Amino acid sequence: MTITRRLLLLGSSCIALIAGLPRLGAAQASRSKVTFVLVNDIYQMSEQAAPDGQPRGGFARLAAVVKAERAKGKVLFVHAGDTLSPSLMSGLDRGEHIMMLTNMIAPDVFVPGNHEFDFGKDVFFDRMRQAKFPLYAANILNPDGKLIPGFFERSIIDIDGVRIGLTGATDEDAVILSSPGDLKFPPSVATVEKQAIALRKEGADVVVAVVHTDRAKDEEMYRMQAADIILSGHDHDLWLNYDGRTAAIESSYDAHFVTCMDVTFTVRTNEGRREVLWHPEFRVIDTRHVTPDPEVHAAVKDYESKLSGALGTVIATTAVELDSRNPVVRTQEAAIGDLIADAMRADTGAEIAITNGGGIRGGKIYPPGSAITRRDMMSELVFRNHVAVLEITGKAVRAGLENGFSFLPRPAGRFPQVSGLKIVVDPSRPVGQRIVSIDANGAPLDDTKIYKLATNDFMANGGDGYEAFDNVRELLPGHDGPLMINEVIKYLEKIKTVRTGVEGRIVIK
């Protein structure tokens, strides 16, 4: 839907969408500057300690950046998607707090990412109806092929005589990375190219594509110059490119860093023809140096208080003993390991699951009859790992498990806790040859067969010696998978009573 004759409230100023501009005289020229502020993949409402130990990110620091930039001049604040999930509180309120916080800093353009669909199509529409900012998605369609309601496929805005064309697209892989139901996602690259052509025909001087797409698609759009400016999300990294004709950027994740692109536009006439020239300058803001915005900080603290209260809620009881002490989860099958691995399989469609015992950290015993709270599970899964789903050969599964048993009889964090598998191990054998047998769902593991394996993102990247899991096809990449803690909480809320004890999934001779 083209909206070249509407008005949009962008930031704090009303900018008219127009189809034409009076011709400049031969001697006339004008210059203006617009700052594009990009955020993408912001899941955590609060600041987080980065790997260097410094607190960064969160909505309050992002709000301070956006407000400061808007106070300095003309700004288009762009959100390239992925925010409703995953976070611990999103597991409770399905992202409602995220929408309320985002409304407080109202982006000028918002494009959904795949995580906007983690709770299904209906919740997606509910949350989008709560948005108090413009929504763009040219390639999210209803089953009848029509644009979903409330979204623009493109628009043209006028800023100081420069006609800026806007469009948005979401990665078509959302259909396998999330749960959008029967919504359709035509190819994102082709969509951006099509919308850019239409925008230029409608008079856009420069085309800006806001996309939530993986790096390969970003680079394809960049190479083919599908748009003049590409503002992307999804890959969680700082990515800045400019070749003199096309600019493409991404801004890390969780607002640890916020990328600003200051674009100077020059409008002039050349032999009676109107020309618009533009040049970008890039600034990367490290938000550890930013003082949180007081208003948004107060709202975040209020949500944190509500979350703290909710964590004490009982979500299940256990009819069997659960033992998460290190000597148990790192040397033998543990009922709590079975529980966590089962939860990882429950909603991912995986045939088998393997997680490392070192990721289970509570160090306590839950006697039969114990109530289990959300806080209990948080104390067990402290690393905030995500679930990844891999397509992997039986041979690679076997190699990974051999690594898991390589330290026996000594305790090791790499010791596997499993679901869908039955393994017999002989620690007296040489390392790498300790597995006597493996059954996968009742049949011998076939080294040549491709299995769907659920694991955690740490192991999927080769952590704890699981190199066999790295560099295989990811059906659900770790950075896009749900939080393990949310999957376990959801599973416990569903089963209500834990009845699976140690049942011979791992037999050590």
Summarised one tens digit per residue, pLDDT across range 185-220 is 999 999 999 999 999 999 999 999 999 999 999 999
Q: Where in the chain is the domain with CATH 3.90.780.10?
A: 314-508
Structural tokens at position 426? 């002989």
Q: Phi/psi zone of residue 56: left (φ > 0), alpha (ψ -120 to 50 degrees), beta?
A: beta
Contact 447, 47 (CB under 8 A): no
Output b/e per residue, 50-60; b: 16+ Cβ within 10 A.
Answer: beeeeebbbbb
Q: How far apart (Å, rounded) are the C-alpha atoms in residues 294 and 419?
A: 46
Over the chain, what is the mean pLDDT? 92
Residues comprising the chain, all counted: 509
Crossing angle, helix 59-72 and helix 294-311, to 10 degrees? Answer: 160
Confidence band (pLDDT; 50, 70, 90) for 273? confident
Q: How far apart (Å, rounded) are the C-alpha atoms in residues 403 and 46?
A: 37
Give the helix/strand (H/E) hosting 423: strand 421-425
Q: How far apart (Å, rounded) are the C-alpha atoms in residues 255 and 498?
A: 38
CA proximity to 38, closest of 210, 194, 275 = 210
Structural tokens at position 51? 């790997």
Mean pLDDT of 231-253: 96
CA proximity to 470, closest of 491, 484, 453, 493 = 453
What distances in angstroms separate CA 331 from CA 113, 262, 322, 416, one per listed residue? 40, 56, 15, 9
Which phi and psi angles does 112 have, rounded to 5°? -65, 145
Q: Where in the chain is the domain with CATH 3.60.21.10?
A: 34-267+288-306
Q: CATH number for 34-267+288-306: choose from 3.40.50.1000, 3.60.21.10, 3.40.50.300, 3.20.20.210.
A: 3.60.21.10
Q: How far apart (Å, rounded) are the C-alpha atoms in residues 161 and 46?
A: 39
Give the helix/strand (H/E) hosting 220: helix 215-224
The per-residue pLDDT for 24 is 38
For the domain made up of 314-508, give the CATH fold: 5'-nucleotidase;  domain 2 (3.90.780)
Confidence band (pLDDT; 50, 70, 90) for 17? very low
Contact 24, 276 (CB under 8 A): no
Q: What percent of the chain has pLDDT over 90?
A: 86
The per-residue pLDDT for 22 is 40
- pLDDT tens readout for residues 359-396: 999 999 999 999 999 999 998 998 889 999 999 999 99
Question: 393 - beta bridge partners?
Answer: 450
Q: Phi/psi zone of residue 360: left (φ > 0), alpha (ψ -120 to 50 degrees), beta?
A: beta
CA proximity to 230, closest of 244, 255, 247 = 247
The per-residue pLDDT for 6 is 29
